[in-house]
């Protein structure tokens, strides 16, 4: 005979769990380290409020799974994940946290005889819409599939049609908001499907063969349609690219994930772009000159700023003085003070360039054979330079950029991961030495362990 825990005891256990999590969040707010920003503390406070509200609701209704009582199970997990994203940006920690959340919810599911419900929730999260199929809910499976699988190329198409400006930023933040509330929606609809399944006395995993084959055919066609739709949109309109070079530091960093318009865009001076090099590499760059512009630059042996003088149609684009402090990027890629950095301005928009980590004399030696140069761009030619001029400090080394070699215009940064590979940059040309350095572990876990999310880069140009 299997011993069953009384309902009152089970309800009290849930209440204790909820209060325990609430106390933890209060402790985080009160005793968080000094380097935690006030904004994060405020967010933690707002996470605490729903816990106490749910506790009061639970005591009033004395029901665990009626109405909002269900979220006594779900909300602590989501709050913990959100809290971890704010305080810990290391992927290895997040993976460990996800495992703990899984064990936590599975334990509660076993305690309350709701294993089937939680299995369907996890299946919907990991292999949608497998959770609805597990509950024999074909209608929800079809609706969920129609919403989910074509969503990628639909969203990319919307970014393409909205183009630059407020519309794309509004869409981005709307998607962020929807992503935050989507777990609640998924749990809510899975819960409804679960209660419908309870009405069937003889539960079994699969439904009738005819319905299963019909759904399988529909699902395969939907996947094919979604795949080719996404392939077309990414190939012709909009695509994602991860920046894997330091060419645009400090304004763009290695590990930034950018959304790029590949057609129907207008280029202006100062716009960030992706270009294809002669080696068939995709590198970020910045537009300096437009078709029909005259680009001139000169070097001077008398003062260092003079060698950076670049003129577009006779108008200098450089301004400010060089910063001659000898410091460099830290291992996180954070911008501090650079060897010979300069604030530049194109059409009123300022950005910082890094000129060199070397001494002024070593810079000057590069220019001794190029006292002056003038380039007139053709009808479909552009002139671009990287913000990090250690990639190409002498403009004469850069031929005009043909339009067909422009991959697209950078629209927005949608994510940014610092893999902390900067600590290994000096060894990148020697893989055998790189693999011997423990701080440069090339394995997947090594990269995850030293990774860090750059929140400040997200949703910026």
Provide the pLDDT confidence category of residue 261 given band limits of 50, 70 and 90: very high
Instruction: Give percent of the chain with pLDDT exceeding 70.
Output: 47
Nearest 10 degrees: Cα torsion 136, 142, 145, 151: -160
Compute the average pLDDT of residues 423-431.
Answer: 49
If one compares 315 and 391, the residue with the highest pLDDT of the two is 315
If one compares 33 and 276, the residue with the highest pLDDT of the two is 276
Contact 288, 275 (CB under 8 A): no
Residue 136 has pLDDT above 50, yes or no: yes
pLDDT at position 296 is 75
Q: So what CATH class is 239-457?
A: mainly beta
pLDDT at position 164 is 77
Interatomic CA distance for residues 312 and 269, integer angstroms:
10
Q: Each residue of 145-167: pLDDT tens digit? A: 998 888 888 888 888 888 877 88
CA 162 to chain centroid: 20
Residue 240 has pLDDT above 60, yes or no: yes
Provide the pLDDT confidence category of residue 209 given band limits of 50, 70 and 90: low
> Domain map of the chain by residue range?
1-113, 239-457
Contact 71, 121 (CB under 8 A): no
pTM of the model: 0.64
* Token duo for residue 397: 């080394």
Burial 342-380 (b: 16+ CB within 10 A, else e): bebebeeeebbbbbbeeebeebeebbeeeeeeebebeee
Residue 41 has pLDDT above 90, yes or no: no
Lowest mean pLDDT among 68-82, 132-146, 321-335, 395-409: 321-335
Provide the pLDDT confidence category of residue 187 given band limits of 50, 70 and 90: confident
Q: Each residue of 61-92: pLDDT tens digit? A: 444 444 444 444 455 555 555 555 554 445 55
If one compares 329 and 155, the residue with the highest pLDDT of the two is 155
If one compares 344 and 149, the residue with the highest pLDDT of the two is 149
pLDDT at position 409 is 93
Lowest mean pLDDT among 119-128, 216-225, 427-436: 427-436
């Amino acid at each position: 005979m299997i011993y069953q825990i009384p309902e009152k005891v089970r309800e009290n256990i849930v209440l204790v769990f909820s209060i325990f999590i609430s106390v933890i969040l209060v402790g985080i707010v009160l005793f968080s380290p000094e380097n935690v920003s006030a904004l994060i503390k405020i967010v933690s406070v707002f996470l605490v409020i729903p816990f106490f509200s749910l506790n009061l609701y639970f005591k009033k209704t004395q029901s665990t799974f009626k109405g909002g009582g269900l979220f006594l199970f779900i909300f602590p997990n989501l709050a913990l994940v959100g809290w971890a994203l704010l305080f810990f940006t290391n992927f290895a920690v997040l993976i460990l946290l996800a495992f703990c959340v899984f064990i936590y919810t599975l334990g509660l599911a076993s305690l309350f005889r709701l294993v089937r419900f939680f299995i369907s929730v996890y299946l919907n999260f990991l292999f949608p819409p497998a959770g609805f199929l597990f509950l024999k809910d074909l209608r929800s499976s079809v609706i969920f599939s129609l919403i989910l699988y074509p969503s990628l190329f639909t969203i990319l198409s919307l970014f393409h049609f909205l183009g630059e400006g407020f519309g794309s930023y509004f869409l981005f933040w709307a998607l962020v908001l929807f992503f935050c509330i989507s777990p609640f929606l998924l749990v809510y609809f899975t819960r409804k499907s679960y209660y419908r399944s309870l009405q069937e006395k003889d539960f079994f995993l699969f439904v009738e063969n005819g319905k299963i084959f019909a759904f399988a055919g529909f699902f395969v066609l939907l996947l094919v349609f979604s795949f080719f739709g996404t392939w077309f949109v990414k190939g012709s309109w909009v695509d994602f690219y991860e920046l894997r070079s330091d060419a645009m530091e400090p304004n763009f960093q290695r590990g930034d994930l950018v959304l790029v318009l590949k057609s129907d865009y207008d280029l202006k001076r100062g716009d960030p772009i992706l270009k294809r090099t002669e080696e068939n590499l995709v590198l970020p760059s910045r537009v300096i000159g437009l078709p029909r512009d005259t680009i001139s630059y000169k070097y001077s042996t008398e003062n260092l700023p003079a060698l950076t003088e670049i003129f577009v149609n006779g108008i200098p684009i450089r301004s400010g003085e060089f910063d001659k402090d000898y410091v460099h990027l830290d291992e996180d890629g954070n911008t501090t003070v650079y060897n010979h950095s300069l604030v530049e301005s194109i059409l009123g928009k300022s950005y910082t360039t890094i000129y060199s980590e070397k001494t002024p004399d070593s810079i000057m030696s590069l220019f001794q054979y190029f006292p002056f140069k003038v380039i007139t761009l053709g009808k479909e030619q552009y002139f671009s330079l990287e913000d990090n001029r250690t990639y190409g400090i002498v403009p004469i080394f850069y031929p005009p950029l043909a339009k067909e070699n422009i991959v697209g215009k950078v629209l927005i940064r949608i994510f940014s991961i610092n893999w902390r590979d900067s600590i290994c940059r000096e060894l990148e040309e020697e893989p055998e030495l790189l693999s011997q350095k423990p701080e440069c572990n090339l394995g997947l876990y090594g990269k995850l362990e030293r990774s860090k999310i750059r929140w400040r880069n997200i949703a910026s140009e």
